[in-house]
Chain A
Amino acid sequence: MDTLVKERIQVDFQNRMDRDELENCMRCGFCLPVCPTYIQSGYDETQSPRGRIALMKGIVDGEIEPDEDIEQTLNECLGCRACEPACPAGVNYGQLLEEARDIFNQNKQHSLPEKVIRKTVFEGLFPHQNRMENMTSLLTFYQRSGLQKIARNIGFMKLFPETLATMEKVLPSTPTRKEMRSQASYYVHKSQPKARVAFFKGCLMDTMFREVNKATIELLQKVGCDIAVPDTQNCCGALHGHSGEKEKAKELAKKNIAAFEEVGADYIITNAGGCGAFLHDYGHLLHDDPEWSERAANFASKIKDITAILIDLDFHLTPLQMPEQVVTYQDSCHLRNVQKTFDEPRLLLQSIDGLHYEEMNDAARCCGSAGIYNIVHSELSMKHLDYKMEQVKDTAATTIVTTNPGCLLQMKLGIEREGLSDKMRAVHIVELLIEAVDRRTSV
């Protein structure tokens, strides 16, 4: 990093970082024992929330110049935000991290290939649902045309890093474009709904994980919701926000807010912990935009996870049944730490007959998926995953339940890496609940 860049970064830090928030950290260290990167690093202060905050503050105060080391420790943070609930002073670490990463990123000279990838992913792909569909249908073509088989047979994937190669194996079988297009438009009106909700589809959830979305709608119908699914909604922007592309995240946020204002529901339901948390943070994302801050806050206050509304509407009191099995639950970091939803999924699982719920040790610890962390920081991510799988194995569970697509893929990856794919499966909680409902009606 040359001196000029460093100077620019420092000026941006001084102008943009929330000094009060930095000052709020009293360095008590209460966040250290819950931080996965701190633990994984063998208790290195530079890899801890307290350390990272001190480094950000150091740059603002001109005590230390921004350099590659600092950029790296900020990038290697999982962004799981487990440090937030642990903090007595209530420091909003996630917001500090997002801003700091954004500053580094904006002042960075990306290499040409990285530039192309970033542009494709952040501008070309995720903001455009139709392109997401295209990409997914490409994947579908790959899976169904026999290409996948061929690729596997000739060991094509061996050319890629191990994580990607394994990832290729565990991707869900995706819907065809026709299946994606033929979706019901989801407007379901009840005469006397128990709640009027709007559904946030999510970009990955609505393409790659289409089945999960279908199941979510079904469950919402079963508990008596009037469901609106605005079709002008788009990607939540989490990926952008967490990767230092804040301006694009803001654009996406505004479109979503406008889309959901039109339907005016009581709650906006999400089924992906990561998206839910980012939507939940729109208030902060747009807090200094006079035209949008209030609208954003209003939008944010309506965000509710599917598990929370199911509990609110007593879904867990209806009879549910499954074949005898042991299941365990992997918290979605953001669902737990940002949306504070952690009892609800457990309550739902415990209400199913035949199912033995085993809490795993450290269920709240990040599995290492963390957005695109498992691709960008593959090696570190796998260390977090290995620890996680040890805890899963200790429960003797045959089903791992998750509440976020990233975690779901990561757990599938974990199962594959452990060679357990014939004994163990990973599912999104709504898939399991639908199974339990179907089972109930068939017996």
Chain B
Amino acid sequence: MLDKSIIEQFKEIVGEKNVETSNMSLHSYSYDATPGFRKTPDVVVAPNNTEEIAEIVKICNDHKIPLTPRGSGTNLSAGTTPLKGGVVLLFKHMNNILEVDEQNLTITVQPGVVTKKLIDKVEAKGLLYPPDPSSINISTIGGNINENSGGLRGLKYGVTRDYVLGLKIVLPNGDIIETGGKLAKDVAGYDLTRLFVGSEGTLGIITEAILKLVPMPEYKKTMLATYADIDDAARTVSAIIENRIIPATLEFLDQPTVEVVEEYNQIGLPTDAKAILLIEQDGPESVVNKDIEKIAEICKELKAVTVSVAKNEQEATALTTARRSALSTIARLRPTTFLEDATVPRSQVAPMVKEINRIAEKYNVKICTFGHAGDGNLHPTVPTDVRNKEEYHRVEQAFAEIFEKAVELGGTITGEHGVGAMKAPFLKLKLGEEGIRALKSVKQSFDPNNIMNPGKMFFEEEEKGE
């Protein structure tokens, strides 16, 4: 429990109504979107600006009080469960778009801005902010930056990292620093901007960000191809890129996913399809048409059973329905849904999916895999029930083996959801002892008292909370 006097100090800094200690509030900030993790914090604080945050951080640092920044809590790695109690820090008052700079094509925002709000704002000006995680309606920019989130447009446009130009950060000692800026080029010193992208709230608190915008592509087309053999689908993905075409979106659904999607939604997918690809291209109209035509050709050459190109927006939506309904369909199968995040090089997508299916059989669990074929980022998703301890154990074993396989195939344990507490035990698979040591020394130099989001990223035989 936190000392009363400290809570009083917080109240003085941010105002009485922005400090919550009721049982209800503490309980409501004890979890995030990750199944199986929960821990009650001591206090929830919602500061109004960078300076207030700096003061709070100083108090925490002096008293070694753990501090967990929280956006919308949609991360799937238990990144915001306050595993060591302490302070949960909210950005609900820091949710303003500060500037859209149309000369430099940048936008400056506070961390609490919901991604969709930012996207709407820039699209109204004919500009594009490409990172679009499936959670855009809820996730915040602060969360996106700290998880280095990626989206459907990742293959062609990259991920959040590629759009962060500059940051304002409160360091764990209370210092306020600014990194980068509205510059395309900047090599003054270490690239702290990049270091903080994907740092999962373990190094400091991001209180402002300058993000890069690009011109909005003028035209877009969507198509869907179905396959009787997953290798054909995988070969199609490689062939498209070998043909020097980078689609804006290249999404994949495996057979278990297709089966459940079709069974529940009746949208006319061939149930014998072993794989489905959803492909989108954007850009100048003539280029898009040429690309889509060529892609359709490649699909057919590689034995796609059906290839359909949308003639208009409505048809495009119909085609994307399959991909979009994947999660919601799987989520309805069983009470608990584990959405994981293994990533392999593009060329290894087919072998990885086959491995996942083998592992599913081995541990007798249902695994539906869908994801971003273009960048090898797969989401093996398990419908289960955490209350069934025996089955849950098998699910954990299956995931452990999936991560091992992914790394073996030259991949990684997470492509976009972060390490958090959930995947901390597996980080070693990817980085080795030496890699972890290097990361720890970075953490140590920024946050010697380990106040920033402790229990995340580095595995410490951590309990899962209460």
Contacts and interface: CB of A to CB of B under 8 A. Distances in A.
A124 interface: no
Contacts of A55: 24, 27-28
Contacts of A354: none
B328 interface: yes
B127 to A, nearest CB: 22
Which one of B24, B27, B386 has the greatest number of beta carbons of chain A within 10 Å?
B24
Given A27-B31, A63-B466, A89-B331, A33 B137 contact: yes
A28 B116 CA distance: 16
Contacts of B114: 33
A50 to B, nearest CB: 8
A30 B114 CA distance: 12
B27 A58 contact: yes
A431 interface: no
A146 interface: no
Interface stretch (A65-73, A287-295, A406-414): A65-73
Contact of A29 (B138, B327, B337): B138
A26 B331 contact: yes
B332 interface: yes
A90 interface: yes
Given A28-B33, A33-B114, A90-B328, A23 B24 contact: no
A69 B26 CA distance: 12
Interface stretch (A37-45, A176-184, A376-384): A37-45
B337 A42 contact: no
6 contacts: A27-B35, A42-B92, A44-B92, A51-B28, A58-B27, A89-B332
B93 A90 contact: no
Contact of A28 (B27, B74, B90, B335): B74
Main secondary structure of the interface of B (DSSP, over half): loop
B381 to A, nearest CB: 11
A27 B137 contact: no
B23 A45 contact: no
B24 A90 contact: no
A427 B344 CA distance: 59
Nearest to B264: A90
Given A29-B72, A29-B73, A69 B327 contact: no
Contacts of B332: 88-90
Nearest to A67: B23
Interface in B110-141: 112, 114, 116, 135, 137-138
Nearest to A65: B23
B326 to A, nearest CB: 10
Contacts of A20: 335
A46 interface: yes
B385 interface: yes
Interface in B370-386: 385-386
A43 B94 CA distance: 11
Contacts of A29: 33, 72-74, 135, 138
B328 A88 contact: yes
B385 A23 contact: yes
B27 A54 contact: yes
A23 B337 CA distance: 10
A73 B25 CA distance: 11
Nearest to B29: A45
Interface residues of A, number: 29
A90 B334 CA distance: 11
Nearest to B76: A28
B23 A64 contact: yes
A69 B23 contact: yes
A97 B144 CA distance: 32
Interface string A98-141: 00000000000000000000000000000000000000000000
A56 B38 CA distance: 15
A397 interface: no
Which are the 4 A-B pairs with shortest beta-carbon distances? A88-B328, A23-B335, A89-B331, A69-B24
A32 B138 CA distance: 7
A30 B337 contact: no
Contacts, number: 86
B31 A70 contact: no
A26 B337 contact: yes
Interface in B320-339: 327-328, 331-332, 335-337
Contacts of B73: 27, 29, 45
Given A20-B335, A29-B135, 20 more contacts: A26-B336, A27-B31, A27-B35, A29-B33, A29-B72, A29-B74, A30-B138, A32-B72, A32-B138, A33-B116, A46-B25, A54-B30, A55-B27, A58-B27, A63-B38, A67-B24, A73-B24, A89-B328, A89-B337, A90-B332
A232 interface: no
A57 to B, nearest CB: 10
A173 interface: no
Nearest to A69: B24
Nearest to B92: A43
A69 B332 CA distance: 31
Interface string B258-293: 000000000000000000000000000000000000
B387 interface: yes
B320 to A, nearest CB: 15
A318 interface: no
A44 B95 CA distance: 13
Nearest to B326: A88
Interface in B417-466: 466
Given A63-B466, A89-B328, A46 B138 contact: no
Contacts of B135: 28-30
B355 to A, nearest CB: 25
Contacts of B137: 30, 33
A357 B136 CA distance: 30
A90 B330 CA distance: 11
Contact of A69 (B22, B31, B72): B22
Nearest to B73: A29
Given A45-B73, A63-B466, A27 B32 contact: yes
Contacts of A70: 24
Interface string A52-87: 001100100001110101100100000000000000
B105 to A, nearest CB: 27
Kindly name the residue among A24, A26, A32, A65 whose own CB sees the greatest number of chain B CB atoms within 10 A: A26
B327 to A, nearest CB: 5
B336 A64 contact: no
Given A33-B138, A42-B93, A23 B28 contact: no
B283 to A, nearest CB: 30
